[in-house]
Structure 1
Amino acid sequence: MDTEEILKKQKLKVTPQRKAIIQVLQNSSSVLSAQEIFAAVIDVMPNVNLSTVYRNIDVLLKKGVLCRITSEDDKILYELRREKGHHHHIICKKCGASIPIDYCPMEDIEKELDKKGFTPTEHRFEIYGYCEKCSKKLKK
């Protein structure tokens, strides 16, 4: 799907900044921080500023265009949502590849939370390790 379709599907205004952010993430094989996104966007849009990138990331996140991932060192990273619905990620500690997984441990916990009268509003679940390619390199 091209950048304009992605934005229009979420009823978002098509702007050069949003298109550039989506293109950066489409071309990335790993999750990126806001600063890394900014560094890539500024190459094609020299006049864009960091606050504009942050503001647009926030809009894209709220509309479900992006996923937010917290790294093992608590760094906030982003990727383009490639799949519909709720999912989690396995993240390679060496190359940064982020692979979506369909399993959600929250489904197993929901009954217990309900018994306690607790209503969750959000959760995160990421697994860190080494992808197949990096595992092979590490074994050599």
Structure 2
Amino acid sequence: MVDPLLRLLGTVLNNVGPGINIVLINGVTGDVQKTAHFDMYGGDVKPLMEFLKSIQSGSVALMASYDDPSTKLTEEARELIAELGSSSVKSLGFRDNWVFVGGKGAPVQSDFEKLLKNDHGKNKYDNWPELIEIQGCIPRYLGGGGR
């Protein structure tokens, strides 16, 4: 079985890159609204912040790091991601592996988040932590459907 996220985001679709990769999904219909990636090592944080500020209430945001998600990530950008339900974004560091699913307007912290810190003494792949995954059914409240 192919991971559903790979159908939305990947090198074959040419919509991923180093930094933070995001898929926005309509929380009611499940339709993909946007995909984007933001280079947080060599790029500028402003486009990421504009993207985060443009997310509509009721949208589901799927985020995954690739290479470095944090070098240019400002406190304001971290707060915008935290408002989507992330509890780990504030401690996100250089080359950490991070996956997160949150919702604009969600009343609680997301249970769909994993962070694996880059630790040269514990990394599986030399300078890189091992792969992480999350899976499960996203509750309606993350999609803005209410309960």
TM-score by length of 1: 0.29
* Higher helix proportion (structure 1 or 2): 1
Judging by fraction of residues, say which structure has more strand: 2
Q: Which structure has the greater CA radius of gyration?
A: 1
